[in-house]
Amino acid sequence: MLGPCIIWLCILFFIPIAILFGRTFYDPQIGLNTENIHRILTTEAYLAIMSITVKIALSVTLIVIVTAYPIAYYIASSEGRNSLLTLVLLPFWTSYLVRIFAWLALLGRNGLINNLLQYLHITDSPLKLVYTYQGVLIGMVHALIPLAVLTMYANMKNIPQVLRESAFTLGSSRVQTFWRIYFPLSFSGVTAAALMVFIIALGFFTTPALLGSAKETMITLVVVDMLHTSLNWGLAGAIAILMLFTAMGAVYVYQKIFGLTAVTGFREEQKESAINIFIGNFARATGIAFLRFIGSFFDYISKALEMVAKRTSKMVFKLGFTGVFFVLITFLVVPMFVLFPVSISESKFLEWPPRGFTFHWYTSYFGNPIWISAIARSFVVASITGVIATVIGFPAAIILVRERFPLKNMLITMITAPMILPHIILAISLFYAYSKVRLVGTTIGLVLGHTALAIPFVVITVSSVLRNYDQQLDQAAMILGAPPLVVFRRITFPLLASGVFAGFFFAFITSFDELTVALFVTGGLMSTLPKLMWADALDQVSPGLAAISVVIFAVLTIALFVMFQMKKPRKTV
Amino acid sequence: MKRKTELSVLGVRKCYGSVVALEQIDLELQAGEFVTLLGPSGSGKSTLLMAVAGLIQPDSGNIWIDGKLITNTPVHERSVGMVFQNYALFPHMTVNENIGFPLEMRKVPKKDIALRVKESLAMVNLSEVGERFPKQLSGGQQQRIAIARAIVYEPSIILMDEPLGALDRRLRTQMQIEIKHLHKTLNATVLYVTHDQEEALSMSDRICLMNSGHIEQIGPADEIYFQPKNQFCATFLGDANLLPGEIISRDGLLKLNGLDENKIVGRINNDVTLGTKIFLVLRPECIQIDPEIEDQSLNRLQVKVIERLMQGSTTKLILETKNKQKLIAACLTNDKLSNLDSADITSIGWRPSDCCIIDRKC
C-alpha cells in the first residue's frame, strides 16, 4: 500500500534531485568539481541576491506569524468558525498570480489606494508602493497568511477551553493565562507555521518580480533566468543545491528542537538521547522564565491601565482586538474584489477607478485559442494529477496512520519533503532529467512532476481525517458479517470520503496553480494557464489578466460551493 | 435435560510482549446462559471477549462456537453478535440500514430484511425511529439500536462489552432490566463484560470472576458470595470481614490470631492439614449484635463499638476486637442498635454456616 507512493516519489523526486546533484558536482573529465559552488559562494552579485532572499524570507515570516496568530486565535475561540475559516482561506483558493495582479491594481500609481489617499487629500501625489521592497513584502505576506492561519488554527482548536477556565479559577488574570497557559500550548503551531512560511518564501520569485524592483530580485528568479537564457546547468544546479541544503538544514534543526509533529500531523517516536534531553530541558527552562517575565510585564501594564480607567480599558481591549481582526480580514479579502471592476475597464493598464465599461478583455482573452488551450491543459493536468495523487496517497495514509513499523519517521519526512522544499529544486531537476529521456514539453512529464508535488498534500489531509476515525465501526461491520473489502467499500470509505475529496481538491489546486515546475517542464506552444499568465504579465499587466483572474476565482468559488452543498446529509422526514 | 454447549474456550493464552493478558483460560457456556466476566481493569475480561469475537488472535488455545472450531476463522465468518460500549452505529446509515446491514451480508432477500428489521426494532421498543440517523437519537436509544442490530441475525452468542458504561445511573438500571428481558425472550446465550458488581449480580446466571489474566472463580452469584474460593473473590464481591487464624482440629475448630476466644467453628473440608493458616470470611449482614446467651451454636466475640452509621433501613457498625482488628457489621435498624454508642462493649455472634474459610498466604 505504501509501495506506489515511495516508488513514485523516488523516481520523480529524489532521483532527479540526486542526478542534478551529480551534475553539479561531478564532471566526467575532471572528477569532483566544486567550481560551480565556489563561484556561487564567492561572486558578490550572487551573495547579495542570496542575502536579500533570506532577508525578505525572514521579514515575511515574522510579519506573517505576528498577523496570522490573532486571526487564528480569533477563529479558534469563536463560534462561527467554519465561515470565518472559509473567508480566510478564500485567497488560498485563488491563483497566487491572481493575487499579485490584485495588489498591482491596489498599489499602482493609478491604483485604488493612491486614488483614495489623494481623494481624501491625505497625499498630493501618488506614493510609490509598487516596485518597492514594501510592495514585495505586502504581496508575499498576503499570499502566505492563509497557510500560517490554517497551521496555527489546526493546533489551537485542540487546546481545550477548560484549561483557560481552570486557570482563571486558580487566580490567573486573563493576561497571565494567555502568556503562561495558552501561548505555550499554541507554540508548536506557531513554529510549524514559521518553518513552512520561511521555506516557501525562500522559493518565491513571481511576487518579487512583479511587485518589486531589481533590488528585490530573489534567488529563484536568477535560476530561472540562468536556465532560460544560457542553459548554465552547473551554476543553476549549484544554486538549487544550496537552496536545498538551506531548507533541509532548517528542517533538520527544527526537527531536533521541536519535532515535526505539528508540521506533518504524525506523532513521532522520539528516542531521547542525552543531548536531546539537555537541549529540551534548557529550551524549556529558558522558555518558562521568559514567559514568566512577559506575563508579569503585560499583567502589570494591564492592571495599571485598569486602575486608570477600568471599564473603558476593557471595552478598548475588546474592540481593539475585534477591530484588528477585521482589519486583517479585510486585508486578506479585499484584493479579490478589486479585480472585477478593473477587468471591465477600457484602459490598457490596471488603474483605478476603472475607465469605461467593456467586456472586450474577456472576449479577446477567452476567444484566443492559445489561452483556451492553456486553460484546458491546466484543467486536464490538474484533474489527472488529482486522481493519481489521491489513488497513491490514500492507501499510503492508511498504512502510516494505522501501522507501526521501523523507519516510520524517516518515511513520513520523505513523503512530506516535496511539500516543504522550494519547487524550483524539483523544477530544474526534472527539467534536467526529462531532457535526457525526452519528456520535456510533454503533458505526461508535467503530470508526473505535479503528482510528486501533490502526494504529500493528499497524505496529510487524509491522515488527519483518518486519525479521528473510530475503528470500532470497522470492527462492528466485520462482526456483523462483512468481509474486509465490503467493510472498506460500505463503511470506511464513505465515512472518509470528505477527507479524500479534500485531498483531491488540494492536489488539484496545487497542480492547477503551479508555475515553477510548469515553467521548465512545458515548452513551446504547450503551456499551462499560470505559465501563460506569467509570460503575459512580464510583458505588461493588462486588465485582460484581471479578467482571467475573475473567471478562475468565480469558477473555483462555485465549485467549492457546490461541493459543500453535496456534502450536506439528506434531509430527514 | 442437558443443554448443549454453545461456547467452549480451552487453554487460550494471550501475551502482549512481557504482559500476560490471558493465562490458560478454560470456559464453557451452555445454550441460553447469561455469563458475566467481572473483574478490575486489566483483568483480561475484554481481551477474552475480543478473542471470542475474533478481533484478537490468541497465542495458543482453541475456541469452539456451537460445536465448530473457530479459532482461526476470520471475524466476519463467525456467528457472533457484539454490542460495544460506544455503540459503533454507522453514522452514515439510517437506523433501518444499520440493523439491516448484517442481513445484507448474509444475502437475505430484501423483503425479509425489511420484515426482520421491523421485528427487531419492535423488540427494543423503538419502532418509530427507523428512518432516523444515529446522531439524532439519545444515548439510551442508540444502545438499544446497537442491541437490535446484534440480535437481528440470531447469532449463536451475543457478546456485550460494558454496553451500559456510557449511560447515566437511572438509564443503566432501566437498560439492565430490558437486556435481561430480551435475554429471556430470545433464550439467547450472552457473554457480558462489566466491572460493575451490582450489574453482574443482578443480571447473570453465572459470574466469572477474573483477575490478572486468569479466572479466579466461576459460579452463580450466591456461590461466589457465600463460598468465595480465595481472598480476591471474598473482597471483590461485596464487603467482607477477614479474620486471620489457623485450623486446630478436624471438627472445624479454629483459633483466631490474637484472640483467645475458644470454640470458634467453621466449615472445613475433610482433607485439610492441622495448623493451616486461614482467613475466616464473615459477611457484615451475618453478624448478630448481642445475641441470646442461650444460643450455644453461635460463634461469639467481644467487641468494642467504634462507630454507628444509621443509613436508613440498615445500620452499619464499625467494631473493634480485643487486638484492634476492625470489623464491619450491617444490620436492620432497630431500637437495640440505636442505643449503642462509641466505646460501648458488646458481644457479636454468627452461625458457623454463615462464615467461610479460605487459605491465607503469608
Sequence ranges of the domains in chain A: 1-33+230-270+359-539, 275-310
How far off is chain B from A404, nearest CA to CA, in Å?
A: 15
Assigned C-alpha cell, A509:
489546486
Nearest to A473 among B74, B88, B149 (CB): B88
Q: What percentage of chain A's residues is helix, strand, coil (to nearest 5)?
A: 80, 0, 20
**DSSP one-letter code for A27:** E
Task: Say which residues have a Cβ less than 8 Å from residue A510's Cβ, sequence separation at least 6.
Answer: A385, A450, A453, A454, A457
Q: What is the pLDDT along chain A (573 residues), one digit of tens a residue?
A: 677 777 777 777 777 778 777 777 766 666 666 777 777 777 788 888 888 888 999 999 999 999 889 888 888 877 656 666 666 676 666 677 777 877 877 777 767 777 777 777 777 777 777 788 888 888 888 888 888 888 888 888 778 777 877 777 777 777 777 888 888 888 888 888 898 899 888 888 888 888 888 887 888 888 888 877 877 777 788 888 888 888 888 888 777 777 666 666 666 655 556 666 676 677 777 877 887 888 788 888 777 777 776 666 667 767 777 777 777 777 777 777 777 777 777 777 666 667 777 777 777 777 888 888 888 888 899 999 999 999 888 888 888 888 777 777 778 878 888 888 888 888 888 888 888 887 777 788 888 889 988 888 888 888 888 888 888 999 999 999 999 889 989 998 888 888 888 888 888 888 888 888 888 888 766 788 888 888 888 777 777 887 887 887 788 778 777 776 765 544 433
Q: What is the dihedral of CA B263, B264, B266, B272, to 10 degrees?
A: -70
Residue B203 CA from chain centroid, whole number: 8
Q: What percentage of chain B's residues is helix, strand, coil (to nearest 5)?
A: 30, 35, 40
Nearest to B90 among A473, A572, A573 (CB): A473
Q: Is A513 helix (H, G, I), strand (E, B) or coil?
A: coil
Q: A568 to chain B: nearest residue by CA?
A: B92
Place of cell 471483590: B236
Nearest to B76 among A472, A483, A573 (CB): A483
Q: What is the pLDDT of residue A570?
A: 43
Q: Read off the pLDDT of each residue in B298-309 and give the average, rounded to a whole number.
A: 88
Q: Is B117 helix (H, G, I), strand (E, B) or coil?
A: helix
> Is the pLDDT reported for residue B105 higher than 90?
no
Residue B350 CA from chain centroid, whole number: 26
Distance CA A198, CA A192 (A): 10
Most A CBs within 10 Å: which of B55, B75, B99, B152, as the mutation test of the A interface? B75
Q: A81 burial class (0-12, 13-18, 19+ CB within 10 angstroms)?
A: middle
Nearest to B331 by CA among B354, B304, B308: B308
Q: Is the peptide bond before B244 cis (omega within 30 degrees of 0)?
A: no
Binary contact (A482, B80; C-beta < 8 A): no
Cα torsion A528, A529, A533, A534: sign: negative
C-beta neighbour count of A132 within 10 angstroms:
17
- In chain B, which residues have their Cβ closer than 8 Å to the Cβ of A470? 86, 88
Task: Give the Cα-Cα-Cα angle A433, A439, A440 (nearest 5 degrees).
Answer: 85
Binary contact (B55, A479; C-beta < 8 A): yes
Could you tell me the strand order of the sheet in which B355-359 lies? B264-265, B253-256, B241-247, B277-282, B355-359
Task: Say which residues have a Cβ less than 8 Å from residue A252's Cβ, sequence separation at least 6.
Answer: none
- In chain A, which residues have their Cβ closer than 8 Å to the Cβ of B76? 478-484, 487
Q: B155 to chain A: nearest residue by CA?
A: A480
Nearest to A537 by CA among A229, A95, A100, A93: A100
- In chain B, which residues have their Cβ closer than 8 Å to the Cβ of A487? 76
Q: What is the pLDDT of residue B181?
A: 92
Distance CA A223, CA A517 (A): 12
- In chain B, what is the straight-line distance between the N-terminal and C-terminal CA atoms, in Å? 45
- In chain B, which residues have their Cβ closer than 8 Å to the Cβ of A475? 55, 75, 82, 84, 88
Q: What is the pLDDT of residue A44?
A: 80
Residue B284 CA from chain centroid, whole number: 20
Q: What is the pLDDT of residue B118?
A: 94
Assigned C-alpha cell, A214:
531589481
Cα torsion A149, A154, A155, A156: sign: positive
- In chain B, which residues have their Cβ closer than 8 Å to the Cβ of A480? 76, 101-102, 105, 149, 153
Nearest to A60 by CA among A202, A188, A191, A155: A202
Binary contact (B153, A573; C-beta < 8 A): no
Length of chain B: 362
Q: What is the pLDDT of residue A273?
A: 63
Binary contact (B86, A481; C-beta < 8 A): no
When the pLDDT of each residue in chain B is averaged and rounded to a whole number, the result is 88
> Is the pLDDT reported for residue B305 higher than 60?
yes
Q: Is A562 helix (H, G, I), strand (E, B) or coil?
A: helix
Distance CA A257, CA A429 (A): 30
- In chain A, which residues have their Cβ closer than 8 Å to the Cβ of B116? none
Distance CA A11, CA A355 (A): 52
- In chain B, which residues have their Cβ closer than 8 Å to the Cβ of A473? 88, 90-91
Distance CA A465, CA B251 (A): 70
Return the CA Rg of chain A: 25
Return the CA Rg of chain B: 25
CATH C-level class of A1-33+230-270+359-539 = mainly alpha
Assigned C-alpha cell, B24:
490458560
Task: Give the Cα-Cα-Cα angle A259, A260, A263 (nearest 5 degrees).
Answer: 145
Distance CA B306, CA B28 (A): 46
Residue type for position A346: E
Residue type for position A196: M
Residue A164 CA from chain centroid, whole number: 31
**DSSP one-letter code for A223:** H
Q: Is the peptide bond before A353 cis (omega within 30 degrees of 0)?
A: yes
- pLDDT, one tens digit per residue, over A36-65 is 777 777 778 888 888 888 899 999 999 999
Binary contact (A481, B53; C-beta < 8 A): no
Q: What is the pLDDT of residue B267?
A: 75
Binary contact (B81, A479; C-beta < 8 A): yes
Q: What is the pLDDT of residue A441?
A: 78
Distance CA A25, CA B15 (A): 54
Assigned C-alpha cell, A270:
522520539
Assigned C-alpha cell, A397:
495514509
Nearest to A241 by CA among A46, A40, A411: A40
Distance CA A470, CA A492 (A): 10
With an 8 Å Cβ cutoff, the interface of chain A facing chain B consists of 470, 472-473, 475-484, 486-487, 490-491, 494-495, 569, 572-573
ipTM above 0.90, yes or no: no
- pLDDT, one tens digit per residue, over B310-349 is 888 999 999 998 888 899 999 998 888 888 888 888 888 8
Q: Which helix (H) or strand (E) holds B34?
A: strand B34-38
Phi, psi dihedrals of residue A239, rounded to the nearest 5°: -60, -45
Give me the residues paired with residue B253 across strands.
B265
- Do residues A174 and A222 make contact, with C-beta atoms less than 8 angstroms apart? no
DSSP assignment of A77-142 equals: TSS-HHHHHHHHHHHHHS-HHHHHHHHHHHHSTTSHHHHHHHHTTS-SS----SSSHHHHHHHHHH
Q: Which helix (H) or strand (E) holds B121?
A: helix B110-123
Q: Is A272 helix (H, G, I), strand (E, B) or coil?
A: coil
Q: B136 to chain A: nearest residue by CA?
A: A572
How far off is chain A from B81, nearest CA to CA, in Å?
A: 7
Distance CA A170, CA B17 (A): 43
Most A CBs within 10 Å: which of B89, B90, B137, as the mutation test of the A interface? B90
Tell me the pTM.
Answer: 0.72
Distance CA B197, CA B41 (A): 13
How many inter-chain contacts (A to B, CB under 8 Å) are there? Answer: 66
Residue B83 CA from chain centroid, whole number: 18
- In chain A, which residues have their Cβ closer than 8 Å to the Cβ of B131? 572-573
Cα torsion A117, A120, A122, A124: sign: positive
Phi, psi dihedrals of residue A142, rounded to the nearest 5°: -60, -40
- Do residues B26 and B218 make contact, with C-beta atoms less than 8 angstroms apart? no
Q: What is the pLDDT of residue A573?
A: 33
- In chain B, which residues have their Cβ closer than 8 Å to the Cβ of A495? 90-92
Nearest to A248 by CA among A475, A17, A427: A17
**DSSP one-letter code for A488:** I
Q: A255 burial class (0-12, 13-18, 19+ CB within 10 angstroms)?
A: middle
Assigned C-alpha cell, B162:
460494558
Nearest to A494 among B76, B78, B92 (CB): B92
* C-alpha distances in Å from residue B33, one per residue of A108, A199, A498, B70, B192: 84, 66, 44, 20, 11
Q: What is the pLDDT of residue A483?
A: 92
Nearest to A479 among B82, B132, B133 (CB): B82
Place of cell 477548560: A162
- In chain B, which residues have their Cβ closer than 8 Å to the Cβ of A567? none
Nearest to A482 among B53, B78, B105 (CB): B105
> Is the pLDDT reported for residue B263 higher than 60?
yes
C-beta neighbour count of A92 within 10 angstroms:
20
C-beta neighbour count of B168 within 10 angstroms:
10
- Do residues A216 and A138 make contact, with C-beta atoms less than 8 angstroms apart? no
Q: What is the pLDDT of residue B250?
A: 77
> Is the pLDDT reported for residue B2 higher than 70?
no
Binary contact (B76, A472; C-beta < 8 A): no
